[in-house]
Amino acid sequence: MPRKIIIDTDPGQDDAVAILLALASPELEVLGITCVAGNVPLPLTHINARKVCELAGRVDVPVYAGCDAPLARKLVTAEHVHGKTGLDGVDLPAPDMPLADGHAVDFLIETLRREPAGTVTLVPIGPLTNIATAMQRAPDIIPRIQQIVLMGGAYFEVGNITPTAEFNIYVDPEAAKIVFAAGVDLVVMPLDVTHKALVTAPRVAAFRALPGTVGPAVASWTDFFERFDKEKYGSSGAPLHDPCTIAYLIAPDLFTGRHINVEIETGSELTLGMTVADWWRVSGRAANALFIGDVDADGFFALLTDRLSRL
């Protein structure tokens, strides 16, 4: 039986690759894709999610529009990384598939109530506004969630949108605080691990050499945001953040981390959105997350390239 997941997303080129990896993997059944404001505003993220479904030939997957602004703050976006559309790098046609009827938060609540308890995993790869809103509106769904595997936060890598905060958590820290405090089985893919999943030149070449349209599209997306990352980090390639979550669900042995306490800073102006991760276990606070620190990057890219070749 494939594992049932809902991807909560703000595409974003790396979101797009995560969605493609999930749709290409028989171990996973994508019940739906819920969109949120983040990398770009909501009207673009739900268009981009549908473009990606059409690219994969999966117009059967329902795509929902969700929250268009964080719980308590003004939206911060990242066009400087992802381009004006959020998916710059490849010109994909405007999607024919319609948005699914209803709000993403209602879909999350109704799906978690309908499916047997403990059988639906949430994969948030954008700001946590939709997930936190669902938890606030319907606390009964919280114990029904099998696991949450999210991309967000940082400890050793500290921050990418401010000196101390990672983008997804920074955009909606109040939402992140609710999710991290919910008591759900939580797996976190911070910058500490995603900055080790770098799209080097040989790895891009492997995507580009795949038959069909998906591999070359992924190569062009990574080429696009690589320009920004190389300038910023001077690294050998762009980090492929969001697909780490899906790869973990398929092949958890590629990753290692620690069960630790992680708290979200919501009060300080200077360190707003910081994931205060007790990596050295000095706080005495109870663990609430598996905080991933390392990945077998060659294994990760081998898995990703193989799966993309199936689309």
* Active site residues per annotation: 241
Q: Is 35 in the site for Ca ion (CB under 5 A)?
A: no
Q: Which is nearer to Ca ion, 108 or 125 (CB)?
A: 125
Cβ-proximal residues to 60 (8 Å cutoff; 6+ apart), any chain: none
Taking the complex as a whole, how short is the minimal distance between the CB of residue 117 and Ca ion, in angstroms? 28
Taking the complex as a whole, how short is the minimal distance between the CB of residue 9 and Ca ion, in angstroms? 6
The Cα 284–Cα 280 span in angstroms is: 10
Q: Which residues pair with 127 in a beta bridge?
A: none
- Where does this chain touch Ca ion (CB under 5 A) — which range of 84-92, 175-183, 237-245, 280-288? 237-245
| Total residues in contact with Ca ion, by rule CB under 5 A | 6
Q: Is 125 in the site for Ca ion (CB under 5 A)?
A: yes
- Where does this chain touch Ca ion (CB under 5 A) — which range of 3-11, 158-166, 215-223, 285-293? 3-11
Taking the complex as a whole, how short is the minimal distance between the CB of residue 150 and Ca ion, in angstroms? 10
Q: Which is nearer to Ca ion, 225 or 291 (CB)?
A: 225
Taking the complex as a whole, how short is the minimal distance between the CB of residue 121 and Ca ion, in angstroms? 17
Q: Which is nearer to Ca ion, 125 or 154 (CB)?
A: 125
* Cβ 9 vs Cβ 36: under 8 Å: yes
Q: Which is nearer to Ca ion, 61 or 128 (CB)?
A: 128
* Cβ 129 vs Cβ 14: under 8 Å: no
Q: Which is nearer to Ca ion, 12 or 190 (CB)?
A: 12
The Cα 150–Cα 164 span in angstroms is: 19
Taking the complex as a whole, how short is the minimal distance between the CB of residue 227 and Ca ion, in angstroms? 18
- Where does this chain touch Ca ion (CB under 5 A) — which range of 11-19, 197-205, 274-282, 284-292? 11-19
Q: Which is nearer to Ca ion, 12 or 83 (CB)?
A: 12
Query: Of these, 32, 83, 95, 126, which contacts Ca ion (CB under 5 A)?
Result: 126
Taking the complex as a whole, how short is the minimal distance between the CB of residue 268 and Ca ion, in angstroms? 24
The Cα 305–Cα 282 span in angstroms is: 40
Task: Report how far Cα 160 is from the mean position of its chain's Cα atoms.
Answer: 15
Taking the complex as a whole, how short is the minimal distance between the CB of residue 79 and Ca ion, in angstroms? 13
Q: Is 197 in the site for Ca ion (CB under 5 A)?
A: no
Query: Of these, 15, 166, 192, 263, which contacts Ca ion (CB under 5 A)?
Result: 15
Query: Of these, 5, 6, 8, 12, which contacts Ca ion (CB under 5 A)?
Result: 12
Q: Which is nearer to Ca ion, 14 or 278 (CB)?
A: 14
CB atoms near residue 174 (< 10 Å): 16
- Where does this chain touch Ca ion (CB under 5 A) — which range of 127-135, 205-213, 234-242, 284-292? 234-242
The Cα 23–Cα 62 span in angstroms is: 12
The site for Ca ion (CB under 5 A) is made up of 10, 12, 15, 125-126, 242
